[in-house]
Amino acid sequence: MNKTKGFVLASLVALSGTTGLAGVAVAEEINIILCGDVVTPVYTKLFEEWNAANPDYQVAPELVGWGQCQDKVTTLAVAGTPVDIAYVGSRTLKQFAQNDLIVPVPMSDDEKAGYYNNVPETVTFDGTQWGIPVAFSTKALFWNKDLFEAAGLDPEVPPATWEEEIAFAKQITEKTDAAGFGMVAKTFDGTMHWFLHWLYTNNGQVIDADGNITLDSPQNLAALTAFKEIVPFSEEGPTAYEQNEVRAIWLDGGLAMLHCSVSCAGRGTEAGINWGVAPLPLGPEAQGPGTLLITDSLAVFKGTGQEDKVIEFGKFLTSPENQLAYELSEGGLTPLRPSAEVDKLVADTPHWKPFIDGIEFGGPEPLLTDYVGFQNVMIEMVQSVVTGAAEPAAALTKAAGELDQYK
């Protein structure tokens, strides 16, 4: 084993904690690890359909809690006793693949074309797909109309640009008791995501298709600079807050604007917030509405002896019809593919529109060889700027240099 591979495998093992080795694949079963505490009714129905058509490959689902799910899958793979297929964060696919733990799940051109733009890129590196997208999240801007009005702003007109977002946050902070903008900067993965919202609304990227780190770019410098400029108009001490905690402030009426998934719509209504939702404000280099594109995937693990049949099963679960049924049953998932049913969803529930519109120019969670290492570099960069310990240009250059070891 070479030094680099040994380091990355050690990182995977560290991620896996002390979970046991139950759930080893059994011949003539397809073992699938799902995250959560219940198999959804849609999956129960699909498993029954698969079993009826494939009597020699019966589905054996195992549920693992969200906090331990990724750890268990990783432990089994590193130990050489992999599950057949598992629900994983797409961010981990490159790390799994480069350690020879999963097999490719190539998409045909027609399959790629069936997804929204940029979705296949969330599972792709070196021109190959390494997972099947199964859950999708996008972000939009939510604002509190009552706080806008109290600050002298038009409650029906959200900011469309970074410049307006910063100016509106300043005006709200100065004229009300609320903070203007929800800033996430805690030592938590959401901090990296929060910055990527800005990066992908200014035509930025972290790593290009050839595997080159492109973090230190003019587009990303503008994003990190704007990030710094809105800090004074955010909640006090943003390094103490992760995204759920910031959302709680918004739901309590103490925050005028935040970036959030569609889940904030229902929760805002339940909390009595007079809210609106719009595309994320854009930077000067934006080509159109953007957002961070986060997917979870089904990964097919190597060494079970039935990988081809497992890929067939994974594509059955995520076929356009079956995937849409799953998404609609879950409520808060952004659809992965355009369809007449999605058009109807947007027509019937207009607050969905910004979450769909942002996909066209959005960008994926970058795939690197050590996701935790990458995440930590990005968090340190953001925190150094938020606290004033570093200027954006220096912080960006430092982070870009550190990311080279993880590309």
Of the candidates 363, 8, 7, the one whose C-alpha atom is nearest the C-alpha of residue 201 is 363
Q: Nearest 5°: phi and psi at 164? A: -70, -40
Strand 140-144: give its sheet, edge to edge.
179-181, 255-260, 140-144, 275-278
Sign of the Cα pseudo-torsion (264, 295, 195, 116, in order) = negative
Angle at 132 between CA 131 and CA 138, to 5 degrees: 105
Supply the pLDDT for residue 2.
36
Q: Going residue by residue through the chain (407 aa), what tens digit of pLDDT does each one get? A: 333 344 344 445 444 433 333 344 444 799 999 999 999 999 999 999 999 999 999 999 999 999 899 999 999 999 999 999 999 999 999 999 999 999 999 999 999 999 999 999 999 999 999 999 999 999 999 999 999 999 999 999 999 999 999 999 999 999 999 999 999 999 999 999 999 999 999 999 999 989 999 999 999 999 999 999 999 999 999 999 999 999 999 999 999 999 999 999 999 999 999 999 999 999 999 999 999 999 999 999 999 999 999 999 999 999 999 999 999 998 889 999 999 999 999 999 999 999 999 999 999 999 999 999 999 999 999 999 999 999 999 999 999 999 999 99
* 259 touches 141 (CB < 8 A): yes
DSSP category for residue 56: T
Is CATH 2.40.10.230 the right assignment for the domain spanning 140-290+369-406? no
Q: For residue 377, give every residue at least 6 positions away whose Cβ sits within 8 Å of its Cβ, in sequence order, or none.
A: 399, 402, 403, 406
Q: CATH fold of 3-137+293-364, please?
A: D-Maltodextrin-Binding Protein; domain 2 (3.40.190)
> What is the dihedral sign for C-alpha 148, 152, 155, 156?
negative
Give CA–CA dist 294/139, Å, rounded.
9
Whole-number pLDDT of residue 22:
39
Q: What is the predicted pLDDT for the residue at 12?
A: 53
pLDDT, residue 116, reads: 97
Contact 290/206 with Cβ under 8 angstroms? no
Give this prediction's pTM. Answer: 0.90
d(CA 78, CA 7): 13
Q: Which backbone phi and psi does 286 adopt, to 5 degrees?
A: -65, 145
The answer to whether 37 and 92 are in contact (CB under 8 A) is: no
Q: Convert 210-235 to b/e letters by CB count within 10 Å (16 or more is b).
A: eeebbbebebbbbbbbbbbbbbebbb
Q: What are phi and psi of 261, to 5 degrees?
A: -75, 175
List where CATH 3.40.190.10 sits in the chain.
3-137+293-364, 140-290+369-406
